[in-house]
């Protein structure tokens, strides 16, 4: 019997020791701590901030079941360097900077941000509770949570205003040690001395003129946006009746029709569709096709996501030079900027969704009058090789030549085309002239995609509203104006004792003579081919089609819960 008791006692000791070891290093968070006097509050809050941060370290940044710190590591570093003292309150009173930070979060949509990403709901509830409940005002835990959330919100706002949300954490500034002290902690320490929250946050935004124009136009959009949640129309669809019912409901919500709950007859539906199409400047054909479905699904909430994504794209840009070419693919336009002024704008034709124009940064290095066109391997594989298998005379019909790598012409009829399915060991070249797909002028720039800017022999396509039509290169309507600008720029930068190899007049002469000339650009012109689906005009935001589904992908990745 005695032996049994000893075994039980030993077991109890083991269990207790296991509990002690298991609990070692585990911190808990108090639910409430009432402080008797305001004088004692600061010390208690400091103690609690330290304790809560220890708890958060063990719980993936969470300070309780519902609140997590987005940038726990940076927040912890800040408090560690500041002796865990409260920065947003003093003796049961909000400091002015706390009010400023809260108001910034409340109005953060004006910056393309979402208030809920910065603890707005939790802070709002807590502030109202402290304001109306004297017991809550004496609760050190309430002030502790508020301080941590405001600091986390400040750090995340800094990050999102500077670099946006389209950057993976692995390469973000939040993972770079030199930014923690020199950017995040320094800026919050500066706020302790100045209280200038809005000015400091504005200082980290891009100075880019297009960004600033879009951001300032956003306020008017936000103040008038419809935040209602509407049903999504799926296209193509399998359930015709459900599609028509949903369409009719959305048309009524758009003020086009009256939703009586009864499915409209075909004639009535066509009439309503045409009204919507006319009102929204769409093709008026009475058909609920992809264009109309995309339009009706593009609610104000979706437009806000688009604006947010585009603002974040600007944050990824390097500082722009004084002169540059800017191609916006979804907008189908090019602009030439010189000393912050847009001096040339031009329509462009860009790559089809199946052969998209790549995003890139480069410099115009040379220009060619009456260029030949060496057709890329991707086009040969997809378009030309299938035609050659049917008829080797296809090349001559199109004005193409088959050339070996010595430059000798090869007879296409001498080739057994059926044995080729991918690459061919020859080049396909289109000679220079009016029928050349590159037109009579080409701008070359270094890039790994074999694309360039050029004229076209299909100039009538510039009148199309949708100009995503090329195999990847960018066709430029006002190529001549750009060429002359580059020539003048080179001439102005040349010293008086140097002779430039070309001028505007010589370019005009070569074009008139139909001469093929390669013109080396001395002062290379920077080129940016970018993807922006909205911009501003007269302080109003205008939207472009998401031709390559770039916005759709970003929205699903970063804003799926919005």
User: Which of 453, 306, 308, 294 has the alpha carbon at shortest distance from 367?
Assistant: 453
Q: What is the mean pLDDT of residues 21-40?
A: 77
Residue 226 within any structural domain of the chain? no
Q: What is the total count of domains within the chain? A: 3
Close Cβ partners of 365 (under 8 Å, ≥ 6 residues apart): 444, 445, 446, 520, 521, 524
On whether both 501 and 413 belong to a single domain, the answer is no
Co-location of 420 and 515 in the same domain: no
The mean per-residue pLDDT over the stretch 373-388 comes to: 89
Residue 20 pLDDT > 60: no
Across residues 278-291, what is the average pLDDT? 95
The predicted model gives 78-86 an average pLDDT of 97
Q: Which of 138-142, 229-233, 501-505 has the highest mean pLDDT?
A: 138-142
In this predicted model, what pLDDT tens digit does every residue of 132-152 receive, in sequence order?
Answer: 999 999 999 999 999 999 999
pLDDT tier, 471 (very low <50, low <70, confident <90, very high otherwise): very high
Taking 3-state DSSP, the helix, strand and coil percentages for the chain, each rounded to the nearest 5, stand at 50, 15, 35
Q: What is the pLDDT of residues 7-17, one digit of tens each?
A: 444 444 444 44
For residue 236, is the peptide bond before it cis, meaning its omega torsion is within 30 degrees of 0?
yes
* Shared-domain flag, residues 40 and 134: yes
Closest CA to 369 of 182, 517, 230, 207: 517
Q: Are residues 114 and 161 in the same domain?
A: yes
Q: What is the C-alpha separation between 195 and 100, in angstroms, rounded? A: 8
Indicate whether 461 belongs to any domain.
yes
The length of the chain in residues reads: 562
Residues 517-551 have pLDDT tens digits of 999 999 999 999 999 999 999 999 999 999 999 99
- Domain assignment of residue 176, yes or no: yes
Using the 3D structure, point to which of 396, 430, 464 is the last residue of a domain.
430
What pLDDT was estimated at residue 82?
96
Predicted TM-score (pTM) of the model is 0.89
Residues near 340 by Cβ (< 8 Å), separated by ≥ 6?
Answer: 209, 322
Could you give phi then psi for residue 443, rounded to 5 degrees?
A: -110, 120
How high is the pLDDT of residue 398? 86
If pLDDT is split at 50, 70 and 90, which confidence band does 494 have? Answer: low
pLDDT at residue number 495: 58
**Domain assignment of residue 242, yes or no:** no
Rounded Cα–Cα distance for residues 149 and 151 (Å):
5
For residue 130, give the nearest of 118, 142, 122 by alpha carbon: 142
Q: Are residues 190 and 330 in the same domain?
A: no
Q: For residue 533, give the nearest of 314, 363, 349 by alpha carbon.
A: 314
Q: Copy the structure tokens of residue 113.
A: 């941000």
For residues 44 and 34, what is the distance between their CA atoms, to the nearest angstrom? Answer: 10
Please tell me the predicted confidence (pLDDT) of residue 195: 83
- The whole-number pLDDT of residue 377 equals 86
Predicted confidence at residue 23, as pLDDT, reads 43
Of 398, 415, 430, the residue that ends a domain is 430
Does residue 499 sit in the same domain as residue 384? Answer: no
Across the range 377-394, mean pLDDT stands at 91
What number is the average pLDDT over the span 231-237? Answer: 93
69: left (phi over 0), alpha (psi -120 to 50) or beta: beta
Question: Same domain for 53 and 161?
Answer: yes
For the chain, give the percent of residues with pLDDT over 70.
94
Whether 312 is covered by a domain: the verdict is no
16-29 average pLDDT score: 54
Report pLDDT for 499: 66
- Are residues 404 and 415 both part of a single domain? yes
Residue 246 has pLDDT above 60, yes or no: yes
Average pLDDT over residues 82-95: 97
Q: Is residue 211 part of a domain?
A: no
Whether the per-residue pLDDT at 124 is higher than 90: the answer is yes
* 351 shares a domain with 331: yes
Clarify whether residues 395 and 354 are in a common domain.
Answer: no
Q: What is the pLDDT of residue 435?
A: 84
* pLDDT, tens only, 335-366: 999 999 999 999 999 999 999 999 999 999 99
pLDDT digits (tens, 9 = 90+) for 205-216: 999 999 999 999
Residues 117 and 177 in one domain: yes
| Average pLDDT of span 496-510 | 82
CB-hemisphere CA count at 13 Å for 25? 5
Output the pLDDT for position 498.
60
pLDDT higher at 21 or 130 = 130
- What's the whole-number average pLDDT of the chain? 92
Best CA proximity match to 475, nearest among 505, 449, 439, 507 = 439
DSSP E strands, 387-539: 400-403, 409-410, 427-430, 441-445, 453-454, 468-470, 474-476, 517-530, 534-537
Tokens of 443: 């701008």
List pLDDT tens digits, range 419-448. Answer: 998 889 999 999 888 789 999 999 999 999
Place of tokens 């290093």: 25
Distance (Å, whole) CA 178 – CA 363: 32
Q: What residues does 403 pair with on adjacent strands?
A: 409, 427
pLDDT higher than threshold 50 for residue 200: yes
The answer for residues whose C-beta is within 8 angstroms of residue 178's C-beta and 6 or more apart is: none
SS3 label, residue 548: coil
* Cα-Cα end-to-end distance for the chain: 67
Q: Domain for residue 307, yes or no?
A: no
**Residues 6 or more apart whose Cβ sits within 8 Å of residue 98:** 88, 89, 146, 150
| Whether 342 and 478 share a structural domain | yes
Domain range for 56 is 28-204
Domain containing residue 361: CATH number? 2.40.440.10
Q: Judge whether 313 lies within some domain.
A: no
Residue 380, token pair as written in the block: 């040969």
Q: For 34-71, write each residue's pLDDT tens digit.
A: 999 999 999 999 999 999 999 999 999 999 989 999 99
List, for residues 258-274, the tens digit of each pLDDT value. 777 788 899 999 999 99
């Amino acid at each position: 019997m005695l032996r049994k008791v000893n075994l039980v006692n030993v077991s109890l000791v083991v269990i207790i020791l296991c509990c002690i070891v298991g609990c070692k290093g585990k911190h808990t968070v108090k639910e409430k701590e009432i402080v008797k006097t305001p004088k004692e509050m600061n010390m208690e809050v400091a103690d609690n901030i330290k304790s809560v941060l220890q708890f958060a370290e063990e719980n993936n940044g969470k300070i309780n079941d519902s609140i997590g710190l987005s940038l726990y590591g940076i927040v912890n570093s800040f408090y560690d360097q500041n002796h865990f003292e409260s920065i947003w309150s003093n003796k049961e009173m909000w400091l002015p900077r706390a009010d400023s930070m809260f108001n910034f979060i409340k109005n953060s949509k004006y910056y393309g941000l979402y208030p809920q990403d910065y603890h707005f709901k939790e802070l709002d509830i807590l502030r109202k509770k402290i304001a109306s409940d004297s017991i809550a005002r004496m609760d050190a835990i309430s002030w502790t949570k508020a301080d941590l959330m405001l600091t986390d919100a400040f750090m995340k706002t800094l990050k999102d205003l500077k670099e946006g949300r389209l950057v993976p954490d692995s390469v973000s500034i939040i993972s770079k040690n030199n930014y923690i002290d020199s950017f995040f902690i320094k800026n919050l320490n500066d706020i302790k001395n100045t209280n200038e929250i809005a000015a400091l946050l504005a200082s980290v935004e891009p100075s880019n003129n297009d960004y600033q124009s879009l951001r300032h136009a956003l306020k008017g959009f936000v103040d008038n946006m419809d935040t209602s949640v509407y049903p999504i129309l799926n296209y193509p669809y399998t359930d015709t009746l459900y599609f028509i019912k949903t369409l009719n409901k959305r048309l009524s919500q758009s003020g086009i029709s009256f939703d009586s709950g009864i499915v409209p007859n075909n004639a009535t539906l066509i009439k309503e569709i045409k009204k919507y199409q006319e009102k929204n400047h769409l093709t008026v054909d009475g058909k609920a096709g992809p264009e109309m479905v995309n339009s009706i699904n593009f609610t104000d909430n979706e437009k806000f996501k688009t604006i947010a994504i585009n603002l974040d794209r600007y944050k990824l840009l390097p500082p722009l030079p004084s002169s540059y070419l800017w191609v916006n693919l979804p907008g189908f336009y090019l602009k030439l900027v010189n000393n912050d002024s847009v001096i040339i704008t031009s329509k462009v034709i860009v790559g089809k969704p199946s052969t998209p124009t790549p995003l890139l940064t480069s410099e115009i290095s040379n220009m060619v009058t009456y260029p030949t066109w060496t057709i890329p391997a991707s086009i040969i594989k997809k378009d030309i090789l299938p035609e050659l298998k049917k008829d080797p005379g296809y090349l001559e019909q199109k004005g193409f030549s088959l050339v070996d790598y010595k430059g000798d012409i090869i007879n296409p009829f001498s080739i057994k085309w059926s044995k080729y399915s991918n690459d061919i060991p020859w080049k396909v070249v289109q000679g220079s002239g009016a029928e050349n797909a590159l037109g009579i002028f080409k701008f070359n720039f270094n890039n790994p995609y074999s694309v360039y800017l050029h004229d076209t022999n299909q100039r009538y396509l510039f009148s199309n509203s949708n100009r995503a039509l090329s195999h990847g290169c960018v066709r430029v309507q006002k190529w001549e104006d750009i060429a002359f600008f580059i020539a003048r720029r080179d001439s102005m930068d040349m010293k008086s004792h140097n002779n430039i190899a070309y001028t505007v007049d010589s370019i005009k002469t070569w074009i008139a003579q139909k001469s093929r000339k390669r013109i080396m650009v001395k002062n290379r012109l920077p080129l940016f081919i970018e993807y922006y689906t909205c911009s501003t005009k007269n302080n109003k935001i205008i939207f472009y089609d998401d031709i390559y589904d770039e916005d759709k992908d970003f929205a699903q990745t970063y804003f799926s819960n919005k």
